[in-house]
Structure 1
Amino acid sequence: MYGYAALLRGIAPSLPNMTNDKLRGVFEALGFENVASVLASGNIVFRSAEADVPALERRIQRALSSGLGIAGGTIIREHSELRALLDSDPFPGLTHGRGTYLTATFLKDGARAPARLPASPDPLTRIVGYDTAARVFLAVIDNSDPGKTPDFMSWLDKTYGKDITTRTWLTVQRIVKKLES
């Protein structure tokens, strides 16, 4: 059995079909074990014997679309990938906060990483790097001015469309903790 995290794109918990109990219900109906949610923003952990991640992503997305009308994207990471990412400590000495908003943007399995990262997308973003194993961009964003959106997020959206989803570093830590409980 493998431990997985499904990172669902476009979840708005205030919408009736996007509540944690309904999301968990879809995963349970698919026969997954130890299904649990992490926060109320589309993070579901589960166990499955299935090892084909792209097939899992497609299967789950079809079920979310047909069962709940959720058209967003499904991105899956195996527990060991997320554990290794945390253990690599990509944000040494930094604490998540308004001026240092630590983010992890996951690419869908099969999406191609860029040949090179944008050098300096804007003054609000410092790109820490791209972790090939976890297929994730890591960045520190200055969110102290709520009226400004970093250009890095626009670049990601233009380049990858719906084949990405972003989580705060704190959320990634909570997901791993839930997978290990």
Structure 2
Amino acid sequence: MTTYAALLRGINVGGKKKVPMAELRGLMEGLGHHGVRTHLQSGQAVFTADRGDEQSLAAELTEAIEAHFGFPVDVLVRDHAYLRAVADACPFPAAELAPKQLHVTYFSAPVDAERFAAIDQAAHLPEEFRLGDHALYLYAPDGLGRSKLAEALSRPRITKGLIATSRNWNTVVKLVEMTAG
């Protein structure tokens, strides 16, 4: 069996797309997953599965959530090895930064620099971003809520054709720990 994290995009924000974590755990157990645990209320679930791959598990969960809750939710599923590799590859000094200053956006497919070429990084300093494997690392010293760079990075022309969901550094680290088995 493999341990995975399911990352749900845009739930329980501002009273919209409410997905109670207890219901999500029950739904996932009903799909045959084991050891289902959730982290916070913002859409992280860790589980083990003895069948499928990341894409098929994400598709299955996306379909089940819409059928159960009545609205679509984008879902990414990633295994421990990937989550660990993303954390280990962080180009910023994570240990020296407050967790609210560092974020990872996970993407459903690889992204290249060309997709972000229109963003003038110098105009957003001291905020910075770097690309990784299906991921983007964002340093936002004043936090994500005040980040003009985060706003620019989330524009539809940048994310077109992708599922993209961001997590702060605390959650990145917690998901690595939770999926370690």
Common fold: TM-score over 0.5: yes
Q: Do 1:36 and 1:46's aligned partners in 2 also have CA atoms closer than 8 Å?
A: yes
Decide which moves more: 156-165 or 57-66: 156-165
CA displacement, residues 15-66 of structure 1 (integer Å, 9 cap, x when unaligned): 6941110111111110001100011110000001224211111110000000
Cα 1:16–1:103 change in 2 (3 A) is closer
Number of the residue aligned with 1:94: 96
Cα 1:165–1:33 change in 2 (3 A) is same
Number of the residue aligned with 1:34: 35
Number of the residue aligned with 2:149: 151
Cα 1:144–1:46 change in 2 (3 A) is closer
> What RMSD, in angstroms, separates the aligned Cα atoms of the two structures?
2.5
Identical pairs, percent = 25
Structure 2: where are the runs of 5+ without partners? none
Cα 1:16–1:52 change in 2 (3 A) is closer
Q: Do 1:34 and 1:46's aligned partners in 2 also have CA atoms closer than 8 Å?
A: yes
Cα 1:151–1:85 change in 2 (3 A) is closer
What is the TM-score normalised by the length of structure 2?
Answer: 0.83
- Ranges of 4+ aligned residues in structure 1 off by more than 4 Å: 13-17
* Cα distance in 1 for residues equivalent to 2:17 and 2:59: 23
Q: Do 1:26 and 1:63's aligned partners in 2 also have CA atoms closer than 8 Å?
A: yes
Cα 1:164–1:89 change in 2 (3 A) is closer
Number of the residue aligned with 2:4: 4
Cα 1:79–1:130 change in 2 (3 A) is same
1:8 Cα deviation after fit: 0.2
Cα 1:71–1:144 change in 2 (3 A) is closer
Number of the residue aligned with 1:126: 128
* Cα distance in 1 for residues equivalent to 2:18 and 2:144: 32
1:80 Cα deviation after fit: 0.7
* Cα distance in 2 for residues equivalent to 1:145 and 1:16: 21
What is the TM-score normalised by the length of structure 1?
Answer: 0.83
Number of the residue aligned with 2:104: 104
Q: Which has the higher helix share?
A: 2
Structure 1: where are the runs of 5+ without partners? none
* Cα distance in 2 for residues equivalent to 1:175 and 1:145: 19
The size of the alignment, in residue pairs, is 173
Number of the residue aligned with 1:141: 140
Q: Do 2:17 and 2:71's aligned partners in 1 also have CA atoms closer than 8 Å?
A: no
Q: Secondary structure at the match of 1:18?
A: coil
Pair 1:114-2:112 in alignment: yes
Q: Do 2:10 and 2:17's aligned partners in 1 also have CA atoms closer than 8 Å?
A: no
